[in-house]
Structure 1
Amino acid sequence: MNALRWGLCLICIYNPLAWSADLAKELKAFAPYLGTWEASFRVSADAPAVQDVSRWERALNGTAIRTLHSINNGDYGGESLIFWDKQKQSLVFYYFTTAGFYTSGRIEVINDSEFAAYEQVVGNQDGITQVKSTSRFKAGQFSVATEYFKQGKWTSPQTRVYKPSHQTVVFK
């Protein structure tokens, strides 16, 4: 009997179907984003370029997406979890930063290659209280257009293009 039990355990451990890499159906739109990405951009014309490295991965047995990102080798970074909230019947997320603030929000999937995120910001020292962004996946890369509600008004959209990367996310 013990041999049978051990045999079943080994089958479960080494059977790839037992460790399914599927995502929950509500998260399928994020499948193309899984992997590591990087974008280089300028915050202002007179500032040096900024490098953002972002890693998207399946989490919690496929019921969530975990993202990690770092700017300029760990000068700033953050981590988020995206998941389906059954009670709200909506995709929601929480984002925590190395700068000591966090956001929470909801995501609307627009189509198979595009989604919009709406965030409430808590504790940002620059006066940002809301963020809205639209992400579009096309031809093996994605763009993110982001607007910030800062000191009572929305900023102009800032667009960044993320391409596949072999860099790693760095936290100091």
Structure 2
Amino acid sequence: MSGIARGRLAEERKVWRKDRPHGFVARPETVDGAVNLLRWECSIPGRKDTLWAGGFYPLTMEFSEDYPSKPPKCKFPQGFFHPNIYPSGTVCLSILNEDEGWRPSITVKQILMGIQDLLDSPNPASPAQSEAYMLFTNDRADYDRKVKEQSLRYPAL
């Protein structure tokens, strides 16, 4: 199975280099000159005209040897503030759940754009973090303030 995962990821890397959305970064991790196709370092820009604008949010994508049969694990830094991001940083999104919305045809580009959409459009029906969820549902002014503060912690590189 590993040949399938690595082959697919190598192809996705080629496609990404030719056609990536503006402001996004996604590249395999390089350690001592060796490329690790199973771990990608990414950056997701906050969408213009949203609370998230101006931030470039670091994300790691970890693929298993079972990819594309199984989705990657996507993580922001620990403690990332968002109703659908676990305190560990793990993203809670249906397209990343093999029992819900995952399909092997979903690409790295679609995953990253889906996560960008999630930033500004949280899903209150699937909370992963109590503080962010409670503020999002009960105190939007405080929620908005915290999101804006967070965007300042992740400026463009």
- Does TM, normalized by the shorter one, top 0.5? no
Structure with bigger gyration radius:
1
Q: Which structure carries more helix by proportion?
A: 2
TM-score, structure 2 as length reference: 0.38
Q: Larger relative contact order (C-alpha < 8 A, sep ≥ 6)? A: 2
Q: Which structure carries more strand by proportion?
A: 1
